[in-house]
């Protein structure tokens, strides 16, 4: 079985030529752990506490806090994205069911690791939310392929028909896409093909 990260899967959605072998070699450090932690903290501790921890973590870092360097620019982009999330999420009064959810979608002989930032309790059912911090193009058709694995694993865990939709938020632009269950169900075969192609099956 070949394991694919969700980042590699999304890259494969964007680029049909991407395969797992193209990711060989050491990757540079990324701020994603600090970024995703800020979303969890937002919902558990509040907007101000999450901002202070994120901002101070970057400022105190010997790597991310160096002014004028490319990594400092990246850190500032994450700060800006967090502010966008705060402005979008604060008016949403739906209860939170879970945050920081790690799951695996098994697509024999491969599997895709998923990180679901937030699962909300909507009157119509559970709504997983995926947060994108990069500056790649989104659009609804691409959002469907990003959201479908999350829809599938939550359907398997929570029960058939209990997931009302999957939100995909792109924080660089504030774009919000809602993928409905029938859209996700219709894209499952395409998701499988993409995963197997990336894995080299």
Percent of the chain whose predicted confidence (pLDDT) is above 70? 97
Statement to judge: residues 85 and 118 lie in one domain = no
The pLDDT tens digits for 91-142 are 999 999 999 999 999 999 999 999 999 999 999 999 999 999 999 999 999 9
Statement to judge: residues 83 and 98 lie in one domain = no
The pLDDT tens digits for 178-187 are 999 999 999 9
Segments forming the whole domain that contains residue 115: 2-23+93-199
Instruction: List C-alpha distances in Å: 183 to 9, 62, 141, 151, 167.
Output: 18, 45, 9, 10, 12
**Residue 184 near residue 148 (C-beta atoms within 8 A):** yes
Statement to judge: residues 155 and 101 lie in one domain = yes
**pLDDT (average), residues 31-60:** 95
What pTM, to 2 d.p., does this model score?
A: 0.94
> Residue 114: beta bridge partners?
103
Statement to judge: residues 50 and 144 lie in one domain = no
Statement to judge: residues 131 and 62 lie in one domain = no
CATH (domain of 125)? 3.40.1350
Q: What is the pLDDT of residue 24?
A: 58
How many Å apart are CA 201 and CA 196, to the nearest integer?
5
Count how many domains the chain has: 2
Statement to judge: residues 80 and 124 lie in one domain = no
Residue for token pair 């499952």: 188
């Amino acid at each position: 079985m070949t394991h694919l990260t969700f980042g590699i899967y999304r890259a494969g959605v964007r680029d049909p030529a991407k395969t797992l072998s193209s990711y060989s070699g050491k990757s540079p450090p990324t701020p994603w752990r600090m970024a995703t932690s800020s979303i969890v903290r937002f919902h558990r501790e509040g907007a101000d506490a999450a901002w202070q921890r994120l901002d101070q973590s970057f400022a105190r870092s010997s790597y991310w806090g160096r002014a004028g360097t490319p990594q400092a620019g990246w850190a500032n982009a994450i700060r800006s994205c967090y502010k966008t999330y705060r402005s979008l999420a604060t008016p949403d009064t739906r209860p939170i069911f879970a945050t920081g959810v790690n799951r695996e979608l098994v697509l024999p002989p491969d599997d895709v690791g998923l990180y679901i930032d937030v699962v909300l309790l909507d009157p119509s059912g559970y709504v997983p939310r995926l947060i994108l911090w990069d500056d790649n193009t989104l659009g609804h058709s691409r959002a469907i392929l990003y959201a479908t694995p999350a829809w599938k694993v939550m359907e398997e865990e929570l029960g058939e028909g209990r997931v009302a939709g999957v939100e995909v938020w792109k924080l660089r632009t504030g774009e919000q896409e809602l993928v409905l269950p029938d859209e996700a169900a219709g894209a499952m075969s395409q998701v499988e093909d993409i995963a197997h192609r990336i894995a080299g099956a």
